Amino acid sequence: MWLIDSSIGRKLVMSVSGLALILFLTFHMAMNAVALFSPEGYNMVCEFLGANWYALVATIGLAALVVVHIVYAFILQVQNLRARGNQRYAVTAKPKGVEWASQNMLVLGIIVVGFLVLHLADFWSKMQLVELCEKMGAHCESQFDPKDGAALLVHNFSQWWRVAIYAVWLAALWFHLTHGFWSALHTLGWNGKNWINRLQCISNVYTTIVVLGFIAVPIYYLIKSLLA
């Protein structure tokens, strides 16, 4: 199958899965932003996206996208190393015009995935997973009401070290997305010389908005806890 055997096919899969994940991040950021204005509204969103069939289908689809993106990232990395051969051991200067992020996409991706595990432990396992266990007749021990996401935000982000970890995570995400976003669009056909600078600018602005939207929530709740 050319999506697996072809270099172009593999890059296409990486691009499409990456853009789909960026759309999810945008939605997730917008959902989190509700908590800045209305904890009750945020809880309504959490209840709507609980262990309902449509939310579970979306969760499975999202997990599949993440796995596909990671697997293809490693495949492309191995492909690039094989193509370079012994030259990869040579000490060379950074190629002109090549972004730092583009040379470290795999490392940045690993950091993002590593912190994703923490995020799942902090929120998903205490919300949707608990609801799912209850619907299946099992019992998941939790000190929080799975539908009270606002209380979970207050608890987690009143701890400065958690906020610091999320800040590091989002910094890695920013570098990963600023290159990955425009590179994916470039792969999908927006590859004219006049578009490169425009795509990079759009990528930087869009990613910055998404990352600032994410970090605003932990900072807000940390400051709120310090002033309480």
pTM confidence score: 0.85
Answer whether 178's CB lies under 8 Å from 129's CB.
Answer: no
- Domain range annotation of the chain: 2-227
**CATH class of the domain defined by 2-227:** mainly alpha
The two tokens of residue 48 are 């709507």
pLDDT digits (tens, 9 = 90+) for 103-145: 777 788 888 888 888 888 888 888 888 888 888 877 777 778 8
Q: Which residue has the tokens 């996401």?
A: 149
Q: Which amino acid type is present at position 77?
A: Q
Contact 128, 49 (CB under 8 A): yes
Q: What's the one-letter identity of residue 35? A: A
Structure tokens belonging to residue 5 = 């055997």
- pLDDT tens, 69-92? 988 888 887 877 776 655 544 444
